[in-house]
Chains A and B, each alone.
Chain A
Amino acid sequence: MSIFNELTKKPWLADPSQIDGAPANQALFLPSGKVGLRVFLVVVTVVFLLTTIAYGDRMLFANWKSTPEPWVLWLNTFVLIASSVAMQWARNNTKRGNLTGVRDGLIFGGVLTISFLVGQLYGWQLMVESGYYAHTNTANAFFYLITALHGAHMIGGLIAWGRSLLKVRKILRSNGSVSDVKLSVELCTTYWHYLLMIWLILFMLLLIS
């Protein structure tokens, strides 16, 4: 569907006989869940984009003092990449019809994500122990803000992840079809990849500043 073609139509001239001919509707050829997630990811992007712009704006101030990133962020980044890989593995298993593989992939992905969040908290602790409090420097404050916002989105993802895992367990017990959980796993995987990409950009931003 071309949106421009659609918007230039003259509905008052339309021929009603089209109804029983060609598809008379322009619903997107995607499940609603996918469309909903894409719209949500746009909203998430705006949140992080605005935070990044605010960060960039404050960096231009003459008295900007950058803050050293705790070493654990590197480890956390690799853990998050691994969780994304695990989620992809779960997704691939839905295509193969391997339900236990889906379950294992989800469990690995979730555990790694929780490890990532614990690691981020440890990063905060390292910052505090080194005297880099939020109120002592705006760069510190941005560090806490950015990691908190990203972490909150990951926690939101874990709720969806938990629901998917429960669904998989239920299907395993009732010998149901993998197709019943395919969309949920796919949506989780997309969300994980997206949040990984956002984290990589944010981490890079923290490093270069």
Chain B
Amino acid sequence: MSNGVIEDSQVIPAAEVEEVELYHAKSFITKWVFCQDAKVIAIQYSVTAIAIGLVGLVLSWLMRLQLGFPDVFSFIDAESYYQYVTMHGMIMVVYLLTALFLGGFGNYLIPLMVGARDMVFPYMNMLSYWIYLLATLILAASFFVPGGPTGAGWTLYPPQSISEGTPGINGGIILMLVSLAFFIIGFTMGGLNYVVTVLQARTRGMTLMRMPLTVWGIFVATILALLAFPALFVAAIMTLFDKLLGTSFFMPEMLVQGELGPHENGSPLLFQHLFWFFGHPEVYIVALPAFGVVSDIISTHARKNIFGYRMMVWAIVAIGGLSFIVWAHHMYVSGMNPYFGFFFATTTLIIAVPTALKLYNWVLTLYKGNIHLTIPMLFCVAFILTFLNGGITGLFLGNVVVDIPLSDTMFVVAHFHMVMGIAPVLVIFAAIYHWFPLMSGRFLNEFWGQVHFWVTFLGTYLIYFPMHYLGFVGVPRRYFEIGETSFIPESAVVLNEFITIMVLIVGVAQIIFIINIIMSIFNGKLAGKNPWNSTTLEWQAETTPPGHGNFGKELPICYRWAYEYSPPGVKADFVPQNLAPDKIK
């Protein structure tokens, strides 16, 4: 190999592949700012995602202040409320969850877990982060343009998103669409890296079926994202055309103040199809890495091999495939053909099968395990419960006859926050508590971790369980204020107040978490090497945190799968993937 170029004839079985020539930074700027090391890029991604996520968190407080105590806060009017809703949704789904799971954990864990020196295209990986940062800044800039950010709802449905009367009609929506286009371009660069690194750069012995499920989850989620994001890209560009050039891709003929508007016969429904062709796989783009992380953490902290590894892999792949044929269950109320609805209801129910299988396997992994109730484990158990709750309400809503009356109520808000908001966020917390010792060499503070866990776990249930009830009694979503509505009981008003107070309490717990991270970087208890006695390769690196090039002089050899916990006849209760058979005691 020379200059990073490999000849066809030079490509030989990986057992004999030569060392990769790494890029070595020559200055502070190239080492810490424009860095090509996947671990630094991962931290850059994570810090940016968490920073913009905190903005999304504050927006949710503002929303809840209005819903809990309408007309009390004069700075919240109907326009700003819709802007909070829109920006909160988009920030949390795309700019926080997707970026953190794939850009953050993907970058940190893929090369380390598969035993690679780095990503295969480090320069493109670096560009990926900077384009993501640019996209985030463009999005954040929309708070400061005249008219503020768009208030079209996070789905950005035309005609509302680009019609007069919607907040942010001038600069806000344009910046949102441009930001999304940049995000997708940046993600594609990163995504190519994740996929090709898994396919090409696994170390000797690291067969596909020896990969930890975290890598499997991120790998399949990246493939989904590479196939799904183009739909959002096309939709964003076409909406931009409608807005800036006056085309009518999505904009129908409309009366504007009694006169015929400039557009003719666009198809708003076409936008919905494109959006949800991205939007539903997006759920699994977030969920699949979470599934993988949970599998690995549960197995490690229960000192037991994952139950049904092959089934877990197949389920990840099956869920990935099925996620592309369920999108229209988000559109039951769009007036679709009943047979069409029947098809999508059926596929929605089918996707529950591999998902349920994963839940059973996690529970069976815990069964008779040597469970250590560490903080990562607590978060994972909380995830299983939360995902089960959110998943079951998803089955309700997957049926057309149930969805239609509930579609515009708070029930849907509660459902998707349980399944797509709280569940993956719990896994993010689990992952941070689990891998923080690898990244920093120190543990996060245990006491504040417990406080963070219990307030977050119980708090989110106290927020979203009552919200299901609100939906059942007919409290609509998307409303700035309900006012005096005869069919909504007084209890709904009281519950809304209660939910708002809980949101603020859970929010404070997240601030504690951030402070815990900052304090622990400097003062946390030293973790040493492999503090969780884990089998996977990232913990077997020579130094903690792993240095440039991840491993020492020689790449590790992988001798076994990632779940060799409590094997019979072995003194230790785990055997690392890279421990040679003749060295096992």
Chain A positions near chain B (C-beta within 8 angstroms): 6-12, 14, 16-19, 23-33, 35-36, 39-40, 42-43, 46-47, 50-51, 54, 57-58, 61, 63, 134-135, 138, 141-142, 144-145, 149, 179-180, 182-184
Task: Give the docked Cα–Cα distance between A23 and B557 (Å).
Answer: 12
List the B side residues contacting A9 at CB < 8 Å.
Answer: 207, 209, 310
List 15 A-B residue pairs with CB atoms under 8 Å apart, sorted by A's residue number: A6-B207, A7-B317, A9-B209, A23-B14, A25-B15, A27-B200, A30-B8, A32-B200, A40-B192, A43-B226, A54-B234, A54-B270, A63-B265, A138-B249, A141-B241
Residues on B with beta carbons closer than 8 Å to the beta carbon of A50: 230-231, 234, 274, 277
Partner of A47 from B209, B234, B246 at Cβ < 8 Å: B234
* B3 neighbours in A (Cβ, 8 Å): 180
The answer to whether A11 touches B309 (Cβ under 8 A) is yes
Contact A25 B230 (CB under 8 A): no
Give CA–CA (A112, B210) in the complex, Å.
Answer: 48
Cβ of B294 < 8 Å from any Cβ of A?
no
Q: Is the Cβ of B208 less than 8 Å from the Cβ of A6?
A: yes
Complex interface: stretch among B431-439, B544-552, B559-567: B559-567
Question: Contact: A16 with B560, CB < 8 Å?
Answer: yes
Contact assessment for A12 and B208 in the assembled complex, using a CB-CB cutoff below 8 Å: no
The bracket for how many chain B residues form the interface is 35 or more
* Interface pair B7/A179, CB less than 8 Å apart: yes
Write out the residue numbers on chain B whose beta carbons fall within 8 Å of the beta carbon of A134.
Answer: 241, 245-247
CA distance A191 to B201 in the complex (A): 23
In the complex, chain B residues 299-316 whose Cβ is within 8 Å of any chain A Cβ = 305, 309-310, 313-314
Is A11's CB under 8 angstroms from B5's CB?
Answer: no
Contact partner of B207 (CB less than 8 A), chosen from A25, A30, A142, A179, is A25
User: For the complex, is B256 an interface residue (Cβ under 8 Å from A)?
Assistant: no
A29 to B557, CA, bound (A): 20
Contact B313 A23 (CB under 8 A): no
- By the criterion CB–CB under 8 Å, are A23 and B13 in contact? yes
Further pairs besides A142-B249, A182-B5: 5, Cβ < 8 Å: A23-B15, A35-B196, A134-B246, A141-B241, A179-B5
A28 and B226 contacting across the interface, CB-CB below 8 Å: no
Task: Indicate whether B456 reaches chain A with its CB closer than 8 angstroms.
Answer: no
CB distance from B59 to the nearest CB of A (A): 31
Whether A135 touches B247, Cβ cut-off 8 Å, given contacts A19-B557, A36-B121, A145-B238, is yes
CB distance from B110 to the nearest CB of A (A): 14
Closest-CB distance, B315 to chain A (whole angstroms): 12
Verify A16–B581 contact, CB threshold 8 A. Answer: yes
A186 and chain B: residue at smallest CB distance: B8
**A25 engages B247 (CB within 8 Å):** no
Question: Is residue B40 contacting chain A, with contact meaning CB distance below 8 A?
Answer: no
CB neighbours (8 Å) of B210 from chain A are 11, 14
* Nearest Cβ on chain B to A62's Cβ, whole angstroms: 9
Taken residue by residue from 548 to 585, chain B's Cβ proximity to chain A (1 for < 8 Å, 0 otherwise) reads as: 00000000011111010000000000000000110000
For residue B266, which residues in chain A have a CB less than 8 angstroms away from its CB?
Answer: 138
A10 CB to nearest B CB, Å? 7
Tell which of B5, B234, B249, B270 touches A180, judged by Cβ atoms closer than 8 Å: B5
Q: Are A12 and B563 touching (Cβ within 8 A)?
A: yes
Contact between A19 and B561 (Cβ–Cβ < 8 Å)? no
Residues of A within 8 A of B6 (CB): 31-33, 183
Across the A-B interface, how many residue pairs have beta carbons closer than 8 Å? 171
In the complex, A183→B305 CA distance in Å? Answer: 43
The reply to whether A7 and B313 contact each other, CB–CB distance below 8 Å, is: yes
Give 1 or 0 for each of B187-221: 1 = CB within 8 Å of chain A CB: 01000100110011111111111100000000000
Asked if A12 meets B305 with Cβ closer than 8 Å, knowing A35-B196, A135-B262, A141-B241, the reply is yes
Shortest distance between the CB of B540 and any CB in chain A (Å): 16
Residues of B within 8 A of A39 (CB): 192, 195-196, 226
**Is B126 interfacial (CB-CB < 8 Å)?**
no
B209 / chain A contacts, CB cutoff of 8 Å: 6-7, 9-11
Task: Determine if A31 and B560 form an interchain contact, defined as CB atoms under 8 angstroms apart.
Answer: no
Give A53 Cβ to nearest chain B Cβ, in Å.
Answer: 9
* Residue in B closest to A149 when the chains form the complex, CB atoms: B237
B interface residues, Cβ below 8 angstroms from A: 2-3, 5-8, 11, 13-15, 17, 120-121, 188, 192, 195-196, 199-210, 226-227, 230-231, 233-234, 237-238, 241, 245-249, 262, 264-267, 270, 274, 277, 305, 309-310, 313-314, 317, 557-561, 563, 580-581
> Are the C-beta atoms of B234 and A32 separated by less than 8 Å?
no
A47 touches B233 (CB 8 A): yes
A24 touches B204 (CB 8 A): yes
Pairwise interchain contact A27-B199, C-beta atoms closer than 8 A: yes
Knowing A11-B309, A25-B205, A27-B14 are in contact, say whether A16-B559 is a contact too (CB < 8 A). yes
Bound CA–CA A182/B2 (angstroms): 12
Q: Are B265 and A138 in contact (CB under 8 A)?
A: yes
* CB-based contact B265/A47 at 8 Å: no
Contact partner, A12, options B2, B8, B246, B561, Cβ 8 Å: B561
- Is there contact, CB below 8 Å, between B208 and A26? yes
B245–A10 contact, CB under 8 A?
no
- Whole-angstrom CA separation of A37 from B2 in the bound complex: 20
Query: Which 6 residue pairs across A and B have the least CB separation, nearest first?
Result: A23-B13, A25-B14, A135-B246, A11-B561, A141-B247, A31-B6
| A11-B210, A14-B210, A39-B196 known; A58-B7 Cβ under 8 A | no
Q: Which residues of A contact B207 (CB under 8 A)?
A: 6, 9, 11, 14, 24-26
CB-based contact A57/B270 at 8 Å: yes
Q: Please tell me if the beta carbons of A25 and B204 are within 8 angstroms of each other in the complex.
A: yes
CB distance from A45 to the nearest CB of B (A): 9
Which of the listed residues B200, B210, B231, B266 has the most CB atoms from chain A within 10 Å of its own CB?
A: B200
Q: Shortest Cβ distance from A59 into chain B, in angstroms?
A: 11
- Complex CA gap A49/B5 in Å reads 32
Which residue of B208, B248, B561 contacts A141 across the interface (Cβ within 8 Å)?
Answer: B248
Q: Find the residue from B241, B266, B557 having the highest chain A CB count within 10 A.
A: B241
What residues of chain A lie closer than 8 Å to B277, measured between beta carbons? 50
Q: Name the residue in B14, B121, B314 with the highest tally of chain A Cβ atoms < 10 Å from its Cβ.
A: B14
B249 touches A54 (CB 8 A): yes
Determine the chain A residues whose CB is within 8 A of the CB of B200 once the complex forms.
27-28, 32, 35
A136, chain B: closest CB distance, angstroms: 9
Q: Nearest-CB distance from A137 to chain B (Å)?
A: 9
- Measured in the bound complex, the distance between the Cα atoms of B13 and A18 in whole Å is 13
Query: Considering the chains assembled together, what is the distance between the CA atoms of A58 and B208 in angstroms?
Result: 43
CA distance A46 to B234 in the complex (A): 10
Once A25-B205, A35-B196 are accepted as A-B contacts, the answer to whether A145 and B241 lie under 8 Å apart by CB is yes
Kindly provide the distance from the CB of B130 to the nearest chain A CB, expressed in whole angstroms.
16
Docked CA distance A25–B200 (Å)? 9
| Chain B residue at minimal CB-CB distance from A29 | B11
Minimum CB–CB distance from B221 to chain A (whole Å) comes to 14
Q: Within the complex, what minimum Cβ distance (angstroms) separates B17 from chain A?
A: 7
Q: How far is the CA of A51 from the CA of B230 in the complex (A)?
A: 10
- Whether the pair B246, A145 counts as a contact (CB closer than 8 A) is no
Contact between B305 and A25, CB atoms less than 8 A apart: no
Residues of A contacting B188 with CB < 8 Å?
40, 43
Give the CA-CA distance A3 to B310 in the complex, in Å: 13
- A54 contact set on B, CB distance < 8 A: 234, 238, 249, 270, 274
Chain B residue numbers with a CB within 8 Å of A149 are 237
Q: Which residues from chain B contact A61 at a C-beta distance below 8 Å?
A: 265, 267
